[in-house]
Amino acid sequence: MPAKPAPEQLDNRAAAAAADTAAAAPLRVVSPQGRLLAAVVLVFGIVLGAPHQLLIVAALVALVLLVAYIVQVSIRRILLRSLVVLPISGMISLFWPLRLVQQWNLDGLASAYAQGWSQMLTLIITPWLCVLVMMLLIATCHQADLLYAVKRLHLPHVLVLLLSFMYRYADTLRAQLRASHRALAARAPKMGTRRQVLLYGNLAGSMLVRAYDRGERIHAAMLARGFNGILTHKREERIGTPDIALILGAALLSVALYLV
């Protein structure tokens, strides 16, 4: 018998469907590829403009949150998910002023960080704003629609298939990882940190073997059901006037960020 989905998977699918339904009403006139293109254009504008002035950053954040409020998605979820980039950008910005050091002593380090604080701030804010925009896109567009959008924008077919299967089986992988972690905690609650690190390496190899075996079975099952390598979508959507208006608005905002 086929394995039943885990409760966590069902909850995630239901939450995604509910979010898509909530966002469908205000944005149903805009196609997925229109939303994706507008988000990409705005991200390019943020990267090229690299805003670090407090007023401009506050205005951009307020605009993103206003759109989130209009389309009725969780502002808290978007903000929390956007913070995932801060540890990476923070580490990069922390070491960036070292390239300005002329003398490797306390005074030289202090002078380098005094000169590079503006660039450090830009290296933190710019990635965060880009991720914030993309989190808004993900929250207002179902994953299946995003895959359809990148397909319509002529992303290589192999990459579209890879992305679709990564999304489809991400919950399965998380469930197996949680099950392995619970089994380890139940069988060896007092295991030392060093042994845990070594054991996690063995678990990673085991998960890789399981994933390969599952992939072989899934491929055979899909071929048996007539899969021909083409992913279908529930409806065909083309870029129309609302999409062009949204893309032009994002382009104008990007130009304004670049010129300011």
Structural domain count of the chain = 1
Give CA–CA dist 137/38, Å, rounded: 9
Q: Is residue 41 part of a domain?
A: yes
Q: Is residue 204 part of a domain?
A: no
Q: What is the mean pLDDT of residues 143-168?
A: 78
User: What does the pLDDT look like over 189-205, one tens digit per residue?
Assistant: 777 777 777 777 777 77
Q: Is residue 148 part of a domain?
A: yes
pLDDT score, position 4: 47
Q: Is residue 138 part of a domain?
A: yes
Q: Is residue 49 part of a domain?
A: yes
Q: Is residue 24 part of a domain?
A: yes
The answer, yes or no, to whether residue 11 has pLDDT greater than 70, is no
For 153-161, the CB contacts below 8 A with 24+ separation are 153/33, 153/36, 153/37, 157/229, 160/231, 161/229, 161/231
Instruction: Write down the pTM of the prediction.
Output: 0.71
User: What does the pLDDT look like over 78-113, one tens digit per residue?
Assistant: 999 899 999 999 898 888 888 888 888 888 888 888
Q: Is residue 205 part of a domain?
A: no
Give CA–CA dist 87/221, Å, rounded: 41
Give CA–CA dist 110/129, Å, rounded: 28
User: What does the pLDDT look like over 205-229, one tens digit per residue?
Assistant: 777 888 788 888 888 888 888 877 7
User: In which domain, by residue range, is 105 found?
Assistant: 7-154+236-259
Q: Is residue 248 part of a domain?
A: yes
Secondary structure (3-state) at 78: helix
Identify whether the C-beta of residue 34 lies closer than 8 Å to the C-beta of residue 246. yes
